[in-house]
Amino acid sequence: MDDTVERTLDAVGPRLKQLRQRREITLADLADQTGISTSTLSRLEAGLRRPTLEQLLPLARAYGVSLDELVDAPATGNPRINLRPIACGDGSTILPLTRRPGGIQAYKFVLPRGDDDAEPDLRTHGGYDWAYVLNGTLRLVLGEHDLILKPGDAAEFDTRIPHWFGATSAGPVEYLSLIGRQGERVHVRTASRGRQPK
């Protein structure tokens, strides 16, 4: 194995720890998301164990980064993002538009036709959300307000206010959303486990 590969592999442990700390998640939370034990995760982060591909794949998925980004592989000169849609159990799709650890992330949400009589499942979390409707009609319940947003409409709000996003019976809706770490946990990770995105 050449020196470059050795150095890259030696740097994976500290990089994994840095990614986890930037996202403010515990080893136990990461173990729940990846199915890798906390003791193994701890050894990987400490550099006491080299990760296998079977471990790197769920870690990359949990952090929302590519394998190259996870191990900090040398740049190939290609600036394109490899977009991988996240299919949710309720028929919605989430498309990550950015791939950087921590901070604000951009996503495209595609929600299937909704039921106007469905009871919204309002959530709260720290931070702010921003949404911009591309196609269709987006229903945003924000506290006591029940808003209908059309293509070109945008909304920004404090996410400590109970809120919920959904499509209407008019058909599916596509919208862009900028969300922080806490919002990403609620919008993306929960939805990718089969619950409806809010």
Dump pLDDT digits (tens) for 141-157: 999 999 999 999 999 99
Return d(Cα 135, Cα 116) in angstroms, integer: 18
Instruction: Indicate if the pLDDT at residue 166 is higher than 90.
Output: yes
User: Residue 95 to residues 4, 74, 192: CA-CA distances in angstroms?
Assistant: 33, 25, 11
Return d(Cα 85, Cα 95) in angstroms, integer: 5
Confidence of residue 47 (pLDDT cuts 50, 70, 90): confident
| Mean of all residue pLDDT scores within the chain | 81
Return d(Cα 49, Cα 52) in angstroms, integer: 9
What domains, with CATH codes, occur in the chain?
3-71 (1.10.260.40), 86-192 (2.60.120.10)
| Residues recorded for the chain | 198
Over residues 70-122, the pLDDT tens digits come to 777 655 555 555 567 777 878 888 888 876 666 788 889 999 999 888 889 89
Inter-axis angle of helices 53-63 and 27-34, to 10 degrees? 110
Strands 154-158 and 128-135: what pairing?
Answer: antiparallel
State percent of the chain over pLDDT 70: 80
Regarding pTM above 0.85, the answer is no
Mean pLDDT of 47-75: 79
Return d(Cα 56, Cα 15) in angstroms, integer: 12
